[in-house]
Structure 1
Amino acid sequence: MAAPSGTSEDEVLPPLSQVRVWDPVVRLFHWSVVAGCVLNLAVFTDGKGAHRWIGYAVALALAIRIVWGFVGARYARFSEFVPRPSALAAYLKALARGRAPRFLGHNPAGAAMMLALMALLAGVSLTGWMLTLDAWFGDDNLEELHEALANVIVVFAGAHVAAALFESWRHGENLVRAMITGRKRA
């Protein structure tokens, strides 16, 4: 159908249907972790005061997200997106062939990345807390483990961002905006 004179096709065609995928708890967790990691890795690197409190805040956000993974909205639930190894392998094969399907929630690779990042956050939170205890204070091996886990988070987060940008391009959908608004194309 041609657009009437003086109007664009965008004004005539109905808008694409949007659905809420990422609820406020998921989005707040995501952006709190982003802010906490950036602050602790780039600003408050001394392991004291603000670094510790930001670490505790990230650990609390992680604890809330884990609980939310069992009781939260559909796409927040672990039962909705934790991939079986065979499903992950099939998805990666399809992705390599350029035939991976679009998922409304996490795709199997994205779900695996999220679980890996959550495990790394738990590890860095635990080791950071342990370093405040008298029994572990000044333990060089534990401090090195804490720093190594933080560095792995940086690498994985970089891969996560690259994958989100790639998937945004591949599907013609701004996934960063979706993590802000909570809405994706149906």
Structure 2
Amino acid sequence: MQVWDPFVRLVHWSVAACVAVAWISTLDDVGFGPHENAGLLAGALVLGRLLWGARGQSHASLRRFVHGPRATWAYARQVWHGTERRHMGHNPLGGWMALALWTCVLALAFTGWLYTTDAFWGEAWLDELHRLLGWCLLGLIAAHLAGVAFTSRRHGENLVRAMIDGRKPAPGPDDVV
């Protein structure tokens, strides 16, 4: 079943590449050009994805996968007990993880941009905030990858492949479409 459209997949992997370039460019004496460009592009891509999600179509729709706290906690309890249903799109925890990742990328892009302005150039607190957000993003990425591995194993599907080709196995009678 086709789940993820080409735009969603392109944005997903492009943001991942931008984050990798931004991170790697801080480890070397490459200069800030690649770091800034990758960070700003990642922020623009996330904004594009949010606009795409606001359109409200298919599994890309934010309304479809961002659940309220009560439903999300109920799903977390089901996961804990091994009784959660398979979701064709994002499950409730995955939806909140996507929002957390996007928020962090946007905050990094914004604080990085602020650092280039005359008003905030050289501000130590902004530099520290930007670094802290970078480490938070790495933690979120680790949690995201762990969640993908866990969910893939639990439901017997390859979620990485699904984000490459956009397809997941057809839903069963107990799955959330």
Provide TM-score, normalisation by structure 1: 0.87
Q: Give the alignment of 1:66-145 within 5 angstroms.
A: 66-71=50-55, 73-145=57-129
153-162 or 36-45, larger mean C-alpha shift = 36-45
* Equivalent pair of 2:40/2:109 in contact (CA under 8 Å): yes
Aligned length: 168
Provide TM-score, normalisation by structure 2: 0.91
Displacement of 1:48 in angstroms is 1.4
Displacement of 1:44 in angstroms is 4.3
* Equivalent pair of 1:23/1:73 in contact (CA under 8 Å): no
1:115-163 CA-to-partner distances (Å, cap 9, x unmatched) read 1111111111100000000100011100110110111010011110011
Displacement of 1:81 in angstroms is 0.8
* Equivalent pair of 2:53/2:62 in contact (CA under 8 Å): yes
| Pair 1:21 & 2:3 matched | yes
Displacement of 1:111 in angstroms is 0.4
* Equivalent pair of 1:44/1:50 in contact (CA under 8 Å): no
SS, match of residue 22 in structure 1: coil
Partner of 2:151: 167
Structure 2: tracts of 5 or more residues without a match: 171-177
* Equivalent pair of 1:36/1:58 in contact (CA under 8 Å): yes
Displacement of 1:66 in angstroms is 1.0
Give the RMSD, CA atoms, in angstroms. 1.2
Percent identity among equivalent residues? 42
* Equivalent pair of 1:124/1:150 in contact (CA under 8 Å): yes
Displacement of 1:40 in angstroms is 1.0
Looking at structure 2, the residues matched to 24 and 183 of structure 1 have their Cα atoms a distance apart, in angstroms, of: 11
Looking at structure 2, the residues matched to 104 and 162 of structure 1 have their Cα atoms a distance apart, in angstroms, of: 18
1:58-117 CA-to-partner distances (Å, cap 9, x unmatched) read 111011111101116311111111111110010000100011110000000000101111
Structure 1: tracts of 5 or more residues without a match: 1-18
| Letter paired with 2:32 | K
| Letter paired with 2:25 | V
Partner of 1:154: 138
SS, match of residue 168 in structure 2: strand
* Equivalent pair of 1:173/1:185 in contact (CA under 8 Å): yes
* Equivalent pair of 1:29/1:61 in contact (CA under 8 Å): yes
Looking at structure 1, the residues matched to 89 and 80 of structure 2 have their Cα atoms a distance apart, in angstroms, of: 20
Looking at structure 2, the residues matched to 135 and 78 of structure 1 have their Cα atoms a distance apart, in angstroms, of: 35
